[in-house]
Amino acid sequence: MTTAAVPTVDSTDKSVRRGRSSRSSTGVGRPGFAWAAPAAAFFGLFALVPLVLVVVLSFTRWNGLGSPEFVGLDNWSRLLDDPVMVKSLWLSLFLTVLGVVVQTPISILLGVWAAGRQRNRAVLSAVYFVPLLLSITAVSVLWRAVLDPNFGVPSEATWLFGDGNLFGTQAGAIGVLVFVSTWQFTPLHTLIYQGAARAVPQVLYQAAQIDGAGTVRQFFHITLPQLRNSIVTSMVLMVVGGLTTFDTVLILTQGGPGNDTTNSAYYMYQKAFKSFDFGAASAIALLLVLVATLVSLAMVRLTGYDKMRSTMEGV
Amino acid sequence: MALSLAACGGSGDSAGGGSDEIHVLVYGDATNKVEKQLVDTFNKTSKVKAVLDTIPGADYQSKLQTIISGKQAPDVFFNWGGGSIKPYVDAGLLMPLDDFIAKDPGLKSRFLPSVFDTAVVDGKPYGIPMRGTQPVLLFSNKKVLADAGVTAPRSWDELLTTVKALKAKGVTPIALGGGDKWPTQMWFQYIYDRVAGPEHFQKAVDGDKSVWASADSKKALGMLKELIDAGGFGTNYDSVKFTDGGSPALLATGKAAFELMGSWEYSTLQDAYPDFVKNDLGYGTFPTVEGGKGAPDNLAGNTNNYYSVLKTTKHPEAVAAFLKLMYSDQFVKGQLGIGNLPTTTNTQQFLDGSASPAYSTYQYDLVKKAPHFQLSWDQAFPPAATTTIYQAVQQFFNGQTGPDAFIAAMQNLPAA
């Protein structure tokens, strides 16, 4: 929950800053801080206050019974010495990168295709959209059954899956996690790209056709550059979702085999609600907040998201 | 009415009003039917009314921990004894039941001793057995064994030769739901009990970390390793689960010959494969180990479930009267009727009325004559240790870590 607040922290900062600068321009009836007050109050109550409480908890030992006992930096020093914690952070990042790398090309291609005017396009697009409408929990349970080594698909396709020990090896388990998230979330990003591809002015394609550019060249030289802002948007969503991946891990692998798919979000849950070590869990949560903040700041800087240059210059 | 009460799960308003109620919190599942009947029986005669609250399935322990020290705390709650209540005893939340037992000796004497002792913490009794006992047994597919020309093994050495014969026939010798992790743990708790004896594990729970590095501990790990390396469990057990029906299906469809599982395996199979249960299901005890320190009759598993009482209860007399029902004839008959096996001294006379009399009698005799009933490791240690235990057993089984890493992991467990 606290981890989900990361991008919001960033964006609210932004809106507050923007609010201040517009106030200085003394425009009447233009957005001022008061306009943001309801949202800011809501955000403060449900994001900042819990965040502060988590900071406090991270300096205590508490198993949910009685009152928390202050232990100073104990949780933090234990955490930094904890090989599982370090491993879980790398896993979170790795799962995120893998998710972006796999999902982005698929959803761009599907999205651009769905923006066209082919026969059956609407029907197929609707079919592709279905996974997004299903509950991730139900989807995970379903895939777990489909991938059962003795009675599922792997037992019929041994040439591909070998002994079907998908959940028993790190590579297999990570593969399943990435595959299931891709299957479920690609439709969302496809939708983003479909909308963006529809918005590309037709004159660009007409001009390119006159210049003799084929479909492939049009895609790389017109469509892709025009989708730049959408790519950034979609990637930010993927990164946020990737770093906080939890439900698929909980249902598909429970962090196993061993701790090979224990990402930070799942490790936090394990510490808090399996081991009842709320102090350590709070410290993990904060560490995740920190990492996610750094990653999203870096992304915003590197991609020019904060400037959002127009793709329509010269059109 | 029953539904609405059950649905509000632990929302007792002990702050205001409701002062003539006791709240009974139980794990939500099919057994609630019997518990509801008992509550009704109790309410017929008692001025203080009992209210049954349920928390569904797997979330029980987490939710209990979050409400037990607050205003929503129940008066009486379901648990697994041992490590599952130790943190609450340490936090001073539970009432020792000595006074209840002094007034009504039946609260102790009417239960089998090996079972009653599991809920004794620091020398004081904190739990009254409820529901049934669930020893872990070695289940087998008789047809698969016959086809391979072998019988269920009595000793560990026989098990190893049986494994070879079954492998030659192309079946997985032992089905294991390694994805759930606790079925893997069952192998450890039995082999340690057989090789090193129950005192060994008890020392470990009491905080003596050196026992994990003992010669017996290493011997037990070596024996397990031999079985794993011999292909006893096949190769893909970590992708199989018991909880989604994967491993029982392996046994019932003849793809595997054995499964080490809690006594509930019987009803699980009865639901899904009634013909298999009728014709080919075999069951027996864990193989003996020659020269081992543990008695061959020792059992391991879930000794029983227990009711423990919060110190804060305003109606101790009513609670004592309610607990008295846990050895009543009505309770025993009700539990037997749905396939549970209560551990009261009067259980024997009602065994014929059980859902499966032969199976119930077999188990009851085992539990009665067992010198020691080892509580599952994940319940003997406090909940904080569970994750570490599960990881250690899984990594040892899949070869990721060796005996030394397993020993180190177990030595790092928080003491009970």
- What are the structural domains, with CATH classification, of chain B? 2-132+304-374 (3.40.190.10), 134-300+381-411 (3.40.190.10)
- Are the beta carbons of B239 and A167 separated by less than 8 Å? yes
- Tokens coding A279: 């102090």
Beta-carbon count within 10 A of B172 CB: 26
Residue B182 has pLDDT above 90, yes or no: yes
For the segment B361-416, what is each residue's pLDDT rounded down to a tens digit? 999 999 988 999 999 998 899 888 888 999 999 999 999 999 999 999 999 887 65
The model's pLDDT over A101-134, given as tens digits with 9 standing for 90+, comes to: 999 999 999 999 999 888 888 888 889 899 999 9
Task: Tell which of A141, A274, A278, A284 to mutate to test the B interface (max B CBs under 10 Å).
Answer: A274
Which residues of chain A have a CB within 8 Å of the CB of B383? 274-276
Q: Which residue in A147, A151, A277 is closest to B249 by CB distance?
A: A151
A158 inside 8 A of chain B by CB: no
ipTM exceeding 0.85, yes/no: no
A278: closest chain B residue by CA: B384
Between B46 and B16, the higher pLDDT residue: B46
| pLDDT tens digits for range B70-98 | 888 999 999 999 888 999 999 999 999 99
Q: Which of A249, A262, A275 to mutate to test the interface with B (most CBs of B within 10 A)?
A: A275
The gap from C-alpha B389 to its chain's centroid, in whole angstroms, comes to 16
State whether B398 and A258 contact (CB < 8 Å): yes
Q: Tell me which residues of chain A, numbers 265 to 294, contact chain B at a CB-CB cutoff of 8 Å.
A: 270, 273-277
Identity of the residue numbered A229: N
In the block, tokens 């003996």 appear at B288
H helix runs in B280-369, sequence order: 316-324, 329-337, 357-369
The beta-carbon contacts of A225-231 under 8 Å, at least 24 apart in sequence, are A225/A311, A226/A196, A226/A197, A226/A199, A226/A200, A226/A311, A227/A108, A227/A112, A227/A193, A227/A196, A227/A197, A227/A200, A228/A311, A229/A196, A229/A308, A229/A311, A230/A192, A230/A193, A230/A195, A230/A196, A231/A104, A231/A108
- Check if A137 contacts B (Cβ < 8 Å): no
Residue by residue, DSSP assigns A159-193 as HHHTT--GGGSHHHHHHHHHHHHHHHHHHHHHHHH
Question: What is the pLDDT, as a whole number, of residue A27?
Answer: 52
Helix (H, G, I), strand (E, B) or coil at B161: helix
Those residues with Cβ within 8 angstroms of residue B250's Cβ, 6 or more apart along the chain or in another chain = A150, B172, B175, B240, B256, B259
Enumerate helices (H) and strands (E) in chain A, giving the number of each: 17, 2
A181–chain B nearest CA distance, Å: 19
> And the tokens for B205?
């729970």
- Contact yes or no for B250 and A66 at CB 8 A: no
Q: Do A168 and B238 touch (CB under 8 A)?
A: yes
Tokens of A219: 């895609």
Q: Do B384 and A144 touch (CB under 8 A)?
A: no
Residues of chain A below pLDDT 70: 1-29, 305-306, 308-315
**Secondary element (H or E) of residue B141:** strand B134-141
Contacts with B58 from chain A: Cβ below 8 Å:
none
Q: Chain B: nearest CA to A150, how far in angstroms?
A: 8
